[in-house]
Amino acid sequence: MSEPGETPDSPAMEGRGLIAQGAEVIASYLPRLPNAPGVYRMLGADGAVLYVGKAASLKKRVQAYTKPFDQPLRIARMIANTASMEFVQTASEVEALLLEANLIKRLKPRYNILLRDDKSFPHILITADHEAPQIVKHRGSKTRKGDYFGPFASAGAVNRTLNTLQRAFLLRSCSDAVFSSRTRPCLLYQIKRCAGPCVGKVAPGDYARLVEQARDFMRGRGKDVRDGLSVEMEAAAAALDFEKAARLRDRIRSLAHVQLQQGINPETISEADLFALHQEGGQSCVQVVFFRSGQNWGNHVFFPRHERGVEPAELLGGFVTQFYDEREPPPRVILSHEVEEADLLAQALSQKAGRRVELLVPQRGEKRDVMAQAMLNAREALARKMAESASQLQLLAAVGEAFGLEAAPRRIEVYDNSHIQGAHSVGGMVVAGPEGLMKNQYRKFNIKGEGLVPGDDYGMMREVLTRRFRKLVKAQESAAGEPVAFEADTPDDDPADIPVPDLVLVDGGAGQLAQALAVVQELGVQGVTIVAIAKGPERDAGREHFFMEGRVPFQLEAKSPVLFYLQRLRDEAHRFAIGAHRAKRAKSLTRSPLDEIEGIGPARKRALLNHFGSGKAVTRAGLSDLESVKGVSKELARKIYEHFHEKGS
């Protein structure tokens, strides 16, 4: 029976019909589902994954979705969009929870809570694979032998800590190759930030003691280290060795500076991560604070993506699960809110870490005070983001009005090329949207066109846009919804997600516009507005001309906020393209002609360069000269000779 005011063909009744239809699709799977733990995926009509969930009993969990009108609006919408489902049975509910987190991060379903800023945090590494251990910043997998300390919230926090640690413990930061080639002390030794183990300025035993002191300090035994240095300083002063006493005094000051710059160091929090959640206006902010060795090693702010109406318990539990999918959890995880299935989450984290991990929601004392401060910071961070988003939305609305768009653009792509007389050509794409610059969406394109005339800007622009939009067309035409990789030279976060831009800006004038229009028309791309932005006379900022199909070239007011915004986007694309070009050019300068020849490794390359003096001399060498090099066989010598003298003949 319909509700009052609802007619059989009203939108409300149509929505209820779609929900009931989705529930029927879900119910059709029930007879074949086991009463066992596992993970399920809900798929839309186009094959896209809508939601990933886990269950202690797949049958019971899925059965709950067959009663859609008892569900929150967010879940009801998801049920209405469900066209099929997929299932994976697991050995335990803990295994299902870990698999769920992995799939959510990889598939990025629309209705799940998504940890968008999934960066790896830097650590400090004291190596253990060399006679003179090195102290360095490390990011990524922990494959090198040594002690890792972290995570730190940012590279800046690591760099500041490293600088003061070098002053306190005088450990080397140079690479092993530089260490082995030194014949005299470097500048770091002169400014008292390295003990000089490379040239024997410190005895191996004394250097090992410095390394152990650094490890003890990073493990939280800073007071013992300082007390020991104080005793040494007093002994040196008593022996009238004032120079040594002054060096020890400076090291003690550096240790104090390290602890001072870490901020608040609670006495009751030693090894823990703290998660503070604040929600407002349908958006959320999670502030994560890292405590290691009794020190605050910084904080990082996240803005997870989710549908409206998500409760704190669900949001924070899903966030923490994804956060530790590829990270090792500390012994204690401190939360601002109780989370769903806390015991299961603690069990899963403990299994991942190989030791007990405790989940804690502080109620009183110092931990509660620290949490209150973190929640205040999360609230202020969310307020700033919402204010920035409102301003950004106003700007985008003005951009849409300036270019005659039907609505404010949600995704703007800006393209620029960089080269020097056609060499090391690179195309760059930057992306902007309601949340500002989307740097994880930036892409670079190494220009591959062999038929291009050096310096052909039109041809380079055509190649970049063709490669970008060809994959978009393939993704749209893929009936099976198979993932399609982004055709660029940097990896895409989600290969299956190739979004359509609302507005494309190309750096240039009528010629670049013509090339861009030709590409989209040739590929049949619909719904994309293309604008070329050309610098004004004498390249003056503020006098730019804009070119669009069907309109005469026009300008915006010199003090228009829209013009300033478009200038920033254009300059950002220029900066990004130049940076990619410089990196490519720098890499080419270190390459040798010998790198192209199969079978020549570092040892043979070194032998050839030592024998002939340079790579260019090797290219001119005769066959008998090549055969005379130690370690080069006759067969390899002939291969080298033919590579440079008979290639292509």
For residue range 217-227, list pLDDT tens digits in order.
777 666 677 77
Please check whether residue 358 is in contact with residue 346, taking contact to mean a CB–CB distance below 8 angstroms.
yes
Beta strands per DSSP E along 303-342: 332-335
Q: What is the pLDDT of residue 9?
A: 46
Please check whether residue 430 is in contact with residue 410, taking contact to mean a CB–CB distance below 8 angstroms.
no
CA 268 to mean position of chain CA atoms: 32
* Cα first-last separation, the chain: 84
Q: How far apart are CA 27 and CA 552, in angstroms?
A: 58
Q: How far apart are CA 70 and CA 76, in angstroms?
A: 8
CA Rg, the chain, in Å? 31
Q: How far apart are CA 504 and CA 118, in angstroms?
A: 27
State yes or no: pLDDT of 423 exceeds 50.
yes
Mean pLDDT of all residues in 102-109: 83
Q: How far apart are CA 619 and CA 645, in angstroms?
A: 8
Please check whether residue 225 is in contact with residue 213, taking contact to mean a CB–CB distance below 8 angstroms.
yes
Mean pLDDT of all residues in 342-357: 90
Q: What is the pLDDT of residue 4?
A: 44
Q: How far apart are CA 437 and CA 429, in angstroms?
A: 11
In this prediction, residue 93 has a pLDDT band, given cuts at 50, 70 and 90, of confident
Mean pLDDT of all residues in 129-139: 89
Q: Which helix (H) or strand (E) covers residue 461, if one does?
A: helix 457-477
Q: What is the pLDDT of residue 646?
A: 58
In this prediction, residue 2 has a pLDDT band, given cuts at 50, 70 and 90, of very low
Q: Output phi, psi for 591, to 5 deg.
A: -80, 150
For residue range 624-647, list pLDDT tens digits in order.
888 888 888 888 888 888 777 754
Please check whether residue 117 is in contact with residue 338, taking contact to mean a CB–CB distance below 8 angstroms.
no
| β-bridge partners, 286 | 277, 302
Q: What is the pLDDT of residue 392?
A: 84
**Surface-to-core class of residue 342, CB atoms within 10 Å of its CB (0-12 exposed, 13-18 middle, 19+ buried):** middle
Q: Which residue has the tokens 């410089």?
A: 582
Q: Which domains does the chain have, with CATH numbers?
A: 16-107 (3.40.1440.10), 123-261 (no CATH), 272-384 (3.30.420.10), 412-587 (3.30.420.340), 593-645 (1.10.150.20)
Q: How far apart are CA 181 and CA 334, in angstroms?
A: 48
For residue range 360-413, list pLDDT tens digits in order.
999 988 888 889 888 888 888 888 777 777 778 888 999 999 998 888 998 999
The CA-atom distances, in angstroms, between 240 and each of 41, 245, 363 are 75, 9, 54
For residue range 296-319, list pLDDT tens digits in order.
777 788 888 888 778 899 899 989
Q: What is the pLDDT of residue 275?
A: 94
> 389: left (phi > 0), else alpha (psi -120 to 50), else beta?
alpha
Q: What is the pLDDT of residue 505?
A: 92
**Residue 55 DSSP code:** E
Q: Given strand 135-138, what is the order of strands in its sheet?
A: 135-138, 123-127, 146-149
Residue 572's nearest CA partner among 432, 389, 397, 453 is 432
Q: What is the pLDDT of residue 15?
A: 57
In this prediction, residue 526 has a pLDDT band, given cuts at 50, 70 and 90, of confident
Q: How far apart are CA 173 and CA 187, in angstroms?
A: 12
**Residue 262 DSSP code:** T
Q: Which of 306-320, 461-475, 481-495, 566-580 has the lowest mean pLDDT?
A: 481-495
Mean pLDDT of all residues in 324-345: 89
Mean pLDDT is highest, among 82-96, 238-252, 334-348, for: 334-348
Residue 357's nearest CA partner among 365, 347, 369, 371 is 347
Q: Which residue has the tokens 């407002």?
A: 280
Q: Are strands 529-534 and 503-507 parallel, antiparallel or unpaired?
A: parallel
Tell me the percentage of the chain whose pLDDT exceeds 70.
85
State yes or no: pLDDT of 13 exceeds 50.
no
In this prediction, residue 254 has a pLDDT band, given cuts at 50, 70 and 90, of low
SS3 421: coil
